């Protein structure tokens, strides 16, 4: 049985999440889309799930309470339980230091600028799930 294709959206902006979910659902390229408006909620969900599903995680950087970098710091503590996930920083940040930092973190597979487009989604899915 082929593995489900799942995308996890982590962004504090409700509108961005809704638009991204709409693009993903209309593409009909994935089986499931999960949205989290806070990194801490997403982290708790992923911890509880114990790596049962492979996910493509689209992670924003600038969020209140727990930002994307803090999420990554906690995520790596999951002791490889989620090693099949792929994390893409999807952000509006154009700060060169953010790009450099993302490149230096082994659990980050890419850095993309918002907004998510169908073409970007197609490319990520082709690379990650195929």
pLDDT in tens, 21-67: 999 999 999 999 999 999 999 999 988 886 667 899 999 999 999 99
- Number of domains composing the chain: 1
Confidence at residue 48, expressed as pLDDT on a 0 to 100 scale: 87
Domain, as residue range, for 52: 9-129
In this prediction the pTM is 0.93
- Which CATH number characterizes residue 86's domain? 3.40.50.2300
Q: What is the dihedral of CA 118, 75, 61, 25, to 10 degrees?
A: 20
User: Does residue 4 form part of some domain?
Assistant: no
b (16+ CB within 10 A) / e for 59-72: bbbebeebbbbebb
pLDDT at 1 over 60: no
User: Does residue 115 form part of some domain?
Assistant: yes
């Amino acid at each position: 049985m082929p593995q489900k294709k799942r995308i996890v959206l982590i962004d504090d902006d409700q509108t961005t999440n809704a638009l991204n979910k709409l693009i993903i659902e209309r593409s009909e390229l994935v089986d499931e889309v999960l949205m989290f408006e806070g990194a801490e909620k997403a982290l708790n969900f992923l911890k509880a799930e114990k790596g049962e599903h492979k996910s493509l995680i689209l992670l924003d950087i600038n969020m209140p309470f727990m930002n994307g970098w803090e999420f990554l710091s906690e995520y790596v503590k999951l002791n490889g339980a989620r090693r099949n996930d792929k994390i893409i920083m999807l952000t509006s940040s154009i700060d060169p230091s953010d790009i450099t930092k993302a490149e230096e973190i082994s659990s980050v597979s890419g850095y993309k600028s918002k907004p998510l487009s169908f073409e970007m989604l197609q490319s990520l899915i082709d690379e990650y799930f195929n």
